[in-house]
Every structure is written in C-alpha cells, then in structure tokens.
Amino acid sequence: MAWSKLKQQLESFLSPALHGRVEYRSTSYRYLPDKAGHCYIAVDKKNVLNMSDTTTMIRWYQTDLEIKNDSTIQIPIYNEEIEAVRKDTKGLVPEDRLKVIARGRKISEYAKELLSAQSALSKSNFIVVANKFLSTSIEESIESNDILLNILALVDRRVGKKRILNMTEKMKVKHPIVQYFYELRFSTL
C-alpha cells in the first residue's frame, strides 16, 4: 500500500480530540538509494517517536555481534534446529558445522527480539505494523506486546472513554512511549 493511502487510513481512525494534534509523517530519498527513509509520529508538531531504517540495521548487527562474542551467554541448541539446518542445506554441510549454523541463526533471532524490546523501530517496520493494525481487531492491538500496535490503538477513535479509564493499571507496565500516548489520550477525555 502506498504511504499516502496508509497515512490517510490511519488518520481516519484517529480520535476526534486528537485530529490535527497527532500526525504520521514519512520522508524518503527517491534518487539516493543509500539513504533510507524516516518515519515518525508527531504530536503538536513535535517528533515524538522516530523510526529510521539506517540505524536499525547497524544496531541489529552490533547486538548480533555482542551476543556472539559474549562467552557468558549460553544458547541451547535443540535437535529440531539442527535438523532444520540439515534440511535447508540438503545434507551437504559437515555435522560439526550444523551446530554452528543453528547457533548463528538463533543468535540472530535473539538480537532481533532484543532490538524489538528496546523499540528500535524502522520505517519499514512501521508500515508492516500499520497494515497489521488495519486488519486486526482493536482488542488484539491493545493486548499486543508490540509498541506500535499499542500506540495506534490508543489514539484510535474506537477506543472509548470507559476502556481508556479501565486501562490505567495495564499501562503502568508498558513501554514509556506507550505510557506517553496513553496520557495524551487520557488528557482528552
């Protein structure tokens, strides 16, 4: 879906009290392939949540290397994971290398999960999550562990006053940026 169409759909779901205050913005560099785009959510014309493609890949790679080089981190490798590598390589890789490849894959997964938990978001991630938000129920978005889904749900017009008031306890354990958007929506009640 094109960015303009996605933005239009997201803004159509904004709470009436937040129209004009919350904006979804995106920039990209058409003729500079080495320049990735930026995506951010602005509140009252101030960028509150920035998402940049360039820094995310670097952070992921750094996290991946840190996990690989830290000898104190023990990552268990199961037979199913080794068998999956064997199947992917069609049995052409020596037995001792299968474990190394399986461990490398698992480390990459952990690095991605760690970055996701640290809210290192990107423009491409925002577009994927926004499309997911548009196709799932509001309850799933609110209950999700995904920061962006939580934010999009909190500013949604389908979330009423009663539900916002009942979410106070749940919001105490959420990410600070989710708490910020909760307070913003709570202030409009």
Structure-token pair, residue 72 = 């104190």
How far apart are the C-alpha atoms of 101 and 77, rounded to whole Å?
A: 10
Three-class secondary structure assignment of 126-167: HHHHHHHHHHCCHHHHHHCCCHHHHHHHHCECCCCHHHHHHC
Residue 147 in tokens: 């920061």
Give the domain ranges of the chain.
Answer: 55-117
**pLDDT tens digit sequence for 51-110:** 765 555 556 667 677 777 777 777 788 899 989 999 998 888 898 898 889 988 888 877
Q: For Cα atoms 122, 77, 117, give the angle at the middle one, nearest 5 degrees.
A: 25
pLDDT level of residue 9 (50, 70, 90 thresholds):
very high
pLDDT tens per residue across span 109-161? 777 766 665 545 666 678 888 899 999 999 999 998 888 899 999 999 999 99
pLDDT of residue 123: 64
Residues 14-53 pLDDT 10s: 999 999 999 998 876 665 555 556 788 899 999 888 776 5
